[in-house]
Amino acid sequence: MKLLERLGRLFGSSSYENANTSRRRSQVPGAAPTDAKKELSSHTRRELVRRSRYLNKNSGFAREMVADMAIYSTGDGIQPQAMTDDLEWNKAAEDYFSRWAARAEITQRFSFEECQHLVCRGLDVDGEFFCLKVRDRFGRPRLQLIEAHRIGEGFASSETADGIRLDAYGAPVAYRLILDDNTARDIPAHAVMHIFEPESASGVRQPPTLQHSINHILDEMEMLALEKHAVKDNADIARIIKRENGGLEELSDFSVDTGSEDAPPPSDPVSLQRIVGGKIVSLQPGESLESFQSNRPSPVFTGFLEHLKRDSAAGMLPYEFVLDAGKIGGAGVRLIVAKADRRFSYRQMILIQRLLRPTWGYVIGDAIDRGELAPAKNWNRVGWVCPRRVTVDAGREAQQNRSDVETGLKTLSDHYSELGMDFREELERRAQDAKAIMEAAEKYSVPVSMLWKPSGTQMVASAESRSEESGS
């Protein structure tokens, strides 16, 4: 059977044309299909991470893609919203978490919002990120940020899947942390949050998101460096002398040896300059002095660089969103923004499921154990308010949102969530503002409509009825 398979591969006997070999095409590298964790070996992953970090440091295009993903996904931080039936407990839990978030990281250098930003950047540069649930010297819960190169085999003898020990079902049991002295320590899986975007069911570690574009961006950087040197060399040449025959001798910059003693001596340029001013160059017959004009970089070269950038951005963010939106029209802009918004929403989901929810359970559960928060039913139920969604036409969409809310097609909570606001907080503020307006109108005996004219008339009628009752 194996012999028949080898003969089939050799002579291209498959009815699937794309599976047949051809002398006009190169062979696709790689062995037979296998699990992703075997394809992405420890050495391969480390090499991809090394190159990806180099691009993130030196390529403006790569940095822009990574920065856009982090800025639009996390913004000023994804905020929690407790979901129990006790509104007072919800407010107390959110306040407690907000105070904890100010110094969430073990070194006290990063807030929880900054941790979200760092993790989001690490997902694109390294492909994954690790957060440890630890405690500070006072026993308070904190997060320890662990970059991808810190999880690996180290020098320990037990078998792991590139730094992750699995059980018989393939579930993580422990993560091997490489310390500064190159020794390794196994961390229980329940204390580690492994944040990544899964691309394969059989994968354990993840390659950098930029891995498919590493060679493209490296080639672009090298070609651009060579082209810049060529442009500078050409810019250093101001003029050129053209001759019909013969060559220049080393007698002077702008004179030649005619080879004849009877030839008349050329005019002296210095003497002529004293008479007519300016700069005069004396040329021999058959010579011409012309300005040098360079055609580098050529439009073909710049178009080739754009092709490399477009292919590099594929799979991450639309090229037009990252770098150049000047060549697309209105409908195209909306499509590009919609595609980018879906990518940001997916990244937010990854952060919520793999980082934010476990962190809420760790921090609030510890507060309940300490007695700093009262126990509450469903205390671990929490929603998350993401930053304002990216839009191309804020005025048009705001008008449509108002219409949807007024007609009941969209709830107020959904509307505020899209704006990156907490519904209950905004409702409290609206109630406080409305109460202040009604009290001011009653105090100074003026109609509410002179202070505020909302689209609805219910509040105005209520305030005026209260004013009439107090007057009577």
pLDDT along the chain (472 residues), means of 10: 57 75 82 86 92 94 93 92 90 94 94 96 95 94 95 71 90 92 90 94 91 90 87 77 60 49 62 66 71 75 85 88 81 87 94 96 95 93 88 69 73 70 74 82 82 61 55 52
Report the C-alpha gap between 164 and 355 in whole angstroms: 18
pLDDT at residue 254, as a whole number:
47
Nearest Cα to Cα of residue 86 among 422, 375, 365? 375
Q: Please state the domain extents for the chain.
A: 35-225+302-390, 238-293, 424-471
**DSSP β-bridge partners for residue 165:** 174
pLDDT at residue 251, as a whole number:
46
* Residue in this structure with the two tokens 């672009």, named with its chain if needed: 220
pLDDT at residue 252, as a whole number:
47
Nearest Cα to Cα of residue 206 among 44, 29, 31, 30? 44
Angle formed by the axes of helices 42-58 and 60-74, nearest 10°: 90
Q: Find the length of the chain.
A: 472
pLDDT at residue 29, as a whole number:
82
Q: Which two tokens stand for residue 257?
A: 């040896």
Backbone angles phi, psi at 84, to 5 degrees: -80, 175
pLDDT at residue 469, as a whole number:
56
**DSSP β-bridge partners for residue 135:** 141
pLDDT at residue 117, as a whole number:
96
Q: Are 279 and 216 in contact (CB under 8 A)?
A: no
Q: Which two tokens stand for residue 71?
A: 């800025």
pLDDT at residue 306, as a whole number:
86
Q: Are 105 and 117 in contact (CB under 8 A)?
A: no
